Chains A and B, each alone.
Chain A
Amino acid sequence: MRDDPFRLGGREFHSRLILGSGKYPLPQIREVVAAGEPDIITLALRRVNAQGEANILDYLPPGKTWLPNTSGAQTAKEALTLARLARELGCGDFIKIEVIVDAKYLWPDNEETLEAVKLLVADGFVALPYMTPDLVMARKMEKAGAAAIMPLGAPIGSNKGLTTKELIRIMIAELETPIIVDAGLGRPSHACEAMEMGATAVMINTAVATAENPPAMAKAFALAVKAGREAYLAGLGPTTEAAASSPLTGFLKSEPPKASQ
């Protein structure tokens, strides 16, 4: 496969599969990462007790880019505080902005997320906002300096797939900023479809973590993402009612079948 990197925040990435680290027993994360070969891995930030909690970074290989999220933030200011705490942990300036108030669907608050993009960019972060797909809002986030836009395919953790396909297709067509489809993709075919449409990358957590065999599913997603990217670069053929793919001359009988009325 050709070398086909993409750039974010001044870094070059070769894998277009971003993996989340949530919902795994810690030892399994290592196997999932080895199988899926992501360059970027997301993390969250939470209160910790003093004793007895293992350090997740001990279970992740070096040389990856950490993408801490701001989950738990309900306002732009809270997102900024979480981002600054993550930066103090010494894992770089990349932040996936999550600002969520809705508890049932974990639906992003786009307006507050835009404010968070402004605050984080001003503070030197490489900001990747998770958002409800919306062209106008995505343009505002792009203008505010977002390094990539992360529209949801379906609600977080739902495994429902690319339910927002048309909205994301428009964003990919109209925006200069990379589009990384995040949330809701449940099957490798969903990820493949997003990549065929021209998404720069996809982010997957629950679909792998809830599979019967998470490492094997991570590999399946990695293959699907590569296939989808190759298909996008190859240029998909047009859809038609029907068109013969074999010659319509030289039949053993004298005439081809007649078109039905």
Chain B
Amino acid sequence: MNLNGQPFELDQTRPLSEVLALCGYDHTLVAVLVNDQVAPRSQFNRLEIKNSDNLEVVAFVGGG
């Protein structure tokens, strides 16, 4: 799996919420693109992530 441009080895298919926890994220503070599609927050527990998937994890930062 690729996360924010970095490779990450996923041992098995897991729900997105679990993948985020494995990677050290608080899932309430981030939004996620899975293969260029926005993952709805309501689907975080159901959306299955495979080792071939591409994830972008974003959050709010300061900006004008």
A interface with B by C-beta (< 8 Å): 20-24, 26, 29, 42-51, 53, 55-57, 66, 68-69, 71, 81, 84-86, 88-91, 156-157, 183, 203, 205-206
Contacts and interface: CB of A to CB of B under 8 A. Distances in A.
A224 B58 CA distance: 36
B7 interface: no
B60 A88 contact: no
Given A50-B24, A50-B25, A81 B60 contact: no
Interface centre among B36, B56, B60 (most CB of A within 10 A): B60
B31 A89 contact: yes
B29 to A, nearest CB: 5
Given A21-B64, A56-B61, A71-B63, 17 more contacts: A29-B62, A44-B62, A45-B58, A45-B63, A46-B59, A48-B30, A49-B4, A50-B25, A51-B24, A56-B60, A66-B60, A81-B38, A85-B32, A88-B39, A89-B31, A156-B64, A183-B64
A35 to B, nearest CB: 16
Contacts of B24: 50-51
A85 B63 contact: no
B35 to A, nearest CB: 12
Nearest to B38: A84
Contact of A85 (B33, B61, B62): B33
9 contacts: A45-B61, A46-B58, A50-B23, A55-B60, A56-B60, A56-B61, A85-B31, A86-B31, A205-B63
Contact of A88 (B25, B31, B61, B62): B31
> Which applies to chain B's interface (DSSP): helix, strand, loop or mixed?
mixed
Interface in B25-51: 25, 29-33, 36, 38-41
A81 B52 CA distance: 21
A205 B64 contact: yes
B64 A88 contact: no
Interface in B10-27: 23-25
Contact of A69 (B31, B38, B59, B64): B64
B40 to A, nearest CB: 7
A203 B4 CA distance: 31
Contacts of B29: 55, 89
B60 A68 contact: yes
Contact of B60 (A49, A91, A157, A183): A91
A85 B25 contact: no
A30 B62 CA distance: 12
B59 A88 contact: no
Nearest to A55: B29
